[in-house]
Amino acid sequence: MKYYDDLRSYIDALDDMGDIMHVTREVDGDFEPSAITRRSYEIQSPAPLFHKVAGTEPGFRLFGAPAGLSSRADMPYARVAMSLGLAPGSSGPAIVEALSAARLQPGIPPVRVDSAAAPCQQNILRGDDATLDRFPIPFAHDKDGGRYANTWGTLIVKPPDGKWVNWSIARVMKVDGKRMVGLIVPSQHIGQIWAEWVKTGEPMPYALVQGPAPAISCVSGIPIPAHADEADYIGTLAGAPVSVVRAVSISLDVPATAEIVIEGHVSITRDCQEGPYGEYGGYLGEGSSAQPTFHVETITHRDDPIWPMSVTGRPTDESHTLWAMGLAADALTYLREANLPVTTTWIPEDSTVHWLLVVVPQNWRELLPGVSSEELSQRIGEVLFKTDAMVFIPKVYVVDDDFDPTNLREVVWVLSTRVHPVGRRVVFDNQRVIRLPQCYDEAEYVAGLGAKVVFDTLQSKRHLHASFAQGYPEEIRQRVLDNW
Active site residues: 279
Distance, in Å, from the CA atom of 310 to the CA atom of 210, rounded to the nearest integer, reads: 12
Closest residue by Cα to residue 436 from 332, 333, 283: 283
Residues contacting 339, CB < 8 A, separation 6+ = none
Beta strand ranges found along 5-143 (DSSP E): 20-23, 47-50, 61-64, 111-112, 123-126
Q: Which residues is 397 bridged to in the sheet?
A: 357, 455
Distance, in Å, from the CA atom of 260 to the CA atom of 134, rounded to the nearest integer, reads: 12
- Burial per residue of 85-98, b for 16 or more beta-carbon CB atoms within 10 angstroms, e otherwise: bbebebbbbebbbb
CA atoms within a 13 Å half-sphere pointing along the CA-CB vector of 402:
19
Q: Reduced to 3 states, what is the DSSP secondary structure of residue 58?
A: coil
Closest residue by Cα to residue 367 from 383, 396, 343, 332: 343
Distance, in Å, from the CA atom of 27 to the CA atom of 49, rounded to the nearest integer, reads: 11
Contact 142, 266 (CB under 8 A): no
Q: Are strands 449-456 and 395-400 parallel, antiparallel or unpaired?
A: parallel
Query: Exposed, middle or buried by CB within 10 Å (0-12, 13-18, 19+), for 82?
Result: buried
Distance, in Å, from the CA atom of 467 to the CA atom of 412, rounded to the nearest integer, reads: 16
